[in-house]
Structure 1
């Protein structure tokens, strides 16, 4: 773990330069300073050695796109509020006291699926030794890195592969990072293409855009539970100390708490407090996405996921999709993640933001 922690440490170094004025040249120096271009508010900093791209907004670390070989898929990790508070769970990379240690594949913000031509991409992690029934996503290239005053844009290419190194899907994804005042936004636009033959994404509850939240944003744990994945592997989620645990889900359909799981909606928000900071995290679906409006695979223990393709599993058999791509066919999945800080969004703010974005 120490070796892994060292690999994933990030740093945001802000260089400050001071102007020195001589007695006779102060006005001239000031004029020269005024003519210098302003630094972009949203900085994307690529680190090829550490295999990451840091996102800095107004001089504060926001998140990193991370693609080390030790992970089975690239992730955004950690993700911070405008105040610098991490909304993502630290374990297994940078564990914090009192965190859960279940589901090692739940890391940061990720995008994958539990059944791609019969292979499980969702549950794969370093904890899995026999990879024959699992797929993994390999970062292939960074195609564009653009900082800016209003937004930062990162474009990447990925391959969805089996354990033999064969490519089932290619993924071209654009991340758009924005931030102003107490709000931070991530747009994740992923286009999947089947280059080598038909690809079946059979209905499965393990999908698709996932976020694992910090312990404080979980629902209070009232009883121990056991969750079973699609292959029948069970994970025990025990009852824990609920001090400071304040999370609550709310869907666009007005459904709250654990009842959000297995329902459809345009968006879901998760609100709570970390210390004295009021925080809400919202995931927004998009009308052109396959399976719209998405089903929500949202659990009180901190898994917050939108799953548009697992309809049979999440509807108790009432709906069925069995999405597939013919050879050469593509599909695009577009989501927005909003992190609100120091504000309460239970009054319709998320719905207003959704309408503005979706139109």
Structure 2
């Protein structure tokens, strides 16, 4: 009997100990089609894959700061008061492209309008390959297929997410490998790409006038002027460029600063030296689109640079690596330099 009591006591203390050691927890809810990420018991983000009837690609959504504030827009998944309701394909943090063998993966959504003629591509989650919680880092490996308009596989994707967190920061590393299936795959120069986030309203850049933005298909989207109360965003690039001027410029990293519900934040997206097209061009807009696109030099240079038209031969693979850092409070250049150095090794 004493042995049984001792065994039960040991088991009851071991579970909390393991949970304490694994500060960064991954939890797969297959019914809800998502993998939740928590740090010290607080929600951080989730990898969601609801399927093409809801989203045309898997995404990380929502994403929170260490202070618990949303850095990503809620609409169209969970609308919040005062948000913009443009570009329904901008959800959370995602990875895709506007012209892959002539298919538009970027603009595809359940609300795509008649002006967008396609053909469209869809990214479909195919599995959770592995997941590992941990004290300092959690790792999630997932797979997906990039499908053409006939649901034939063009690319097989394997993505590793690494999640980290401290008392004042949250970090996501995304390492995505794409393998061409059957035929060569051409990523024609197109401004709509590649790794991207749609930011919360507070992290947009203040704007006093309506804007019209035209996509690669020539379809115009009106972005109306809104009340700027609480809107505090500002872009700062590694090359010293700021504000809306960062669009179409090359930089090793981009820092979006602002304040959400009283929490000063820096959202830093870092390119990797081994990526194609390094240092990347930035498809970053004041209305909340924060994207890095290394594959469209002719577009971003207004024709001054030669087109890349990156081609991935059949059976071959290419890997893209990006780091997202969300830091609370003052973020000195030294901190960013350390993040860049640690990621670039």
Give the distance between the partners of 2:228 and 2:111, measured in 1 at CA.
Answer: 28
Q: Superposition pairs for residues 13-162 of structure 1, below 5 Å?
A: 37-39=17-19, 40-69=22-51, 70-128=54-112, 132-162=118-148
Give the distance between the partners of 1:50 and 1:278, measured in 2 at CA.
Answer: 33
Give the distance between the partners of 1:132 and 1:276, measured in 2 at CA.
Answer: 42
Out of 325, 328, 343, the residue aligned to residue 338 of structure 1 is: 325
Q: CA deviation at 1:38?
A: 3.0
Query: For the structure 1 residues 177 and 169, does the alpha-carbon distance in structure 2 shift closer, same or farther, using more than 3 Å as the test?
Result: same
2:103 aligns to what SS in structure 1?
Answer: coil
Give the distance between the partners of 1:135 and 1:30, measured in 2 at CA.
Answer: 54
Give the distance between the partners of 1:307 and 1:28, measured in 2 at CA.
Answer: 56
Give the distance between the partners of 2:112 and 2:235, measured in 1 at CA.
Answer: 31
TM-score by length of structure 1 reads 0.89
Give the distance between the partners of 2:141 and 2:203, measured in 1 at CA.
Answer: 30
- CA deviations 1:17-41 (Å, max 9, x no partner) are xxxxxxxxxx999988766633110
Give the distance between the partners of 1:316 and 1:190, measured in 2 at CA.
Answer: 28
TM-score by length of structure 2 reads 0.92
Preserved CA contact (<8 Å) 2:253 2:271: yes
1:65 aligns to what SS in structure 2?
Answer: strand
Q: Superposition pairs for residues 198-277 of structure 1, below 5 Å?
A: 198-277=184-263
- CA deviations 1:91-128 (Å, max 9, x no partner) are 00100000000000000000000000011100001112
1:123 aligns to what SS in structure 2?
Answer: coil
Is the aligned partner of 1:329 residue 2:313?
no
Is the aligned partner of 1:280 residue 2:266?
yes
Preserved CA contact (<8 Å) 1:252 1:351: no
Give the distance between the partners of 2:170 and 2:83, measured in 1 at CA.
Answer: 24
Q: CA deviation at 1:133?
A: 1.0
Match of residue 174 from structure 1: 160
Give the distance between the partners of 1:43 and 1:35, measured in 2 at CA.
Answer: 16
Give the distance between the partners of 2:36 and 2:7, measured in 1 at CA.
Answer: 36
Give the distance between the partners of 1:31 and 1:187, measured in 2 at CA.
Answer: 36
Give the distance between the partners of 2:323 and 2:48, measured in 1 at CA.
Answer: 19
Q: CA deviation at 1:206?
A: 0.2
- CA deviations 1:279-330 (Å, max 9, x no partner) are 1101000000011110000000000000000111111112221101110011
Give the distance between the partners of 2:203 and 2:334, measured in 1 at CA.
Answer: 20
Give the distance between the partners of 1:299 and 1:180, measured in 2 at CA.
Answer: 29
Give the distance between the partners of 1:98 and 1:73, measured in 2 at CA.
Answer: 26
Match of residue 298 from structure 1: 284
Q: CA deviation at 1:197?
A: 0.4
1:297 aligns to what SS in structure 2?
Answer: strand
2:340 aligns to what SS in structure 1?
Answer: helix
Query: For the structure 1 residues 346 and 262, does the alpha-carbon distance in structure 2 shift closer, same or farther, using more than 3 Å as the test?
Result: farther
Match of residue 3 from structure 2: none
Give the distance between the partners of 2:11 and 2:121, measured in 1 at CA.
Answer: 56
Give the distance between the partners of 2:8 and 2:209, measured in 1 at CA.
Answer: 67
Between the two proteins, the alignment pairs up a number of residues equal to 332
Query: For the structure 1 residues 198 and 153, does the alpha-carbon distance in structure 2 shift closer, same or farther, using more than 3 Å as the test?
Result: same
List alignment gaps of at least 5 residues for structure 1. 1-26
Give the distance between the partners of 1:224 and 1:346, measured in 2 at CA.
Answer: 33
